[in-house]
Amino acid sequence: MLSGVLSFRSTRFACLLVAALSIAACARNPEETASLANASAATPGSQQDFVVNVGDRVWFQVDSAELTQQSIATLEKQAQWLRAYPQYSFTVEGHADERGTREYNIALGARRAQAVRDYLASRGVQAHRMRTISYGKERPVAVCNDISCWSQNRRSVTVLNASS
């Protein structure tokens, strides 16, 4: 993963990666912090297992829907897990940060969700289990006026349906 860091030229992205690696510190939601601390306690095959031990989200660069090396590593783990637990159907949510206009961000979020969906499909996850939705900039997870928040909001989240 560190070699991945070195290959990114953009300082912006380095910030993003730092934010991603230290998400517990950035999380504004105390529950989120707590769940990350209890990582190993999750039952294998549970939703918590997926969120905590696999990672339910990947992050994107500004105005981009390209999967980074880090994203691909996470999605590889997601695909393995989703193949192992075929009872789950799920939604891939695409999101954008607040630094774009509304309509464009809706389309950009959709593009990001599609990139994740296509990758999971290419790794053997059945298409009928997946749906995508874009929230544009409507559902940020981190709220502040700098890159530390925006980089967390440019994301795609794989959301398992309650009990499939």
The residue ranges that bind other proteins (CB under 8 A) are 28, 63, 65, 98-104, 106-108, 110-111, 114-115, 133-136, 138-145
* Beta carbon nearer to other proteins, 63 or 76: 63
CB-wise, 36 or 62, nearer to other proteins? 62
Note whether 49 and 42 are within 8 A (CB): yes
Q: What minimum distance in Å lies between the beta carbon of 36 and other proteins?
A: 17
The answer to whether 20 and 1 have CB atoms below 8 angstroms apart is: no
> What is the three-class DSSP state of 76?
helix
Nearer to other proteins, 47 or 134 (CB): 134
Say how far apart CA 96 and CA 90 lie, in whole Å. 20
CB of 16 to other proteins, least distance (A): 16
CB 125 within 8 A of CB 101: no
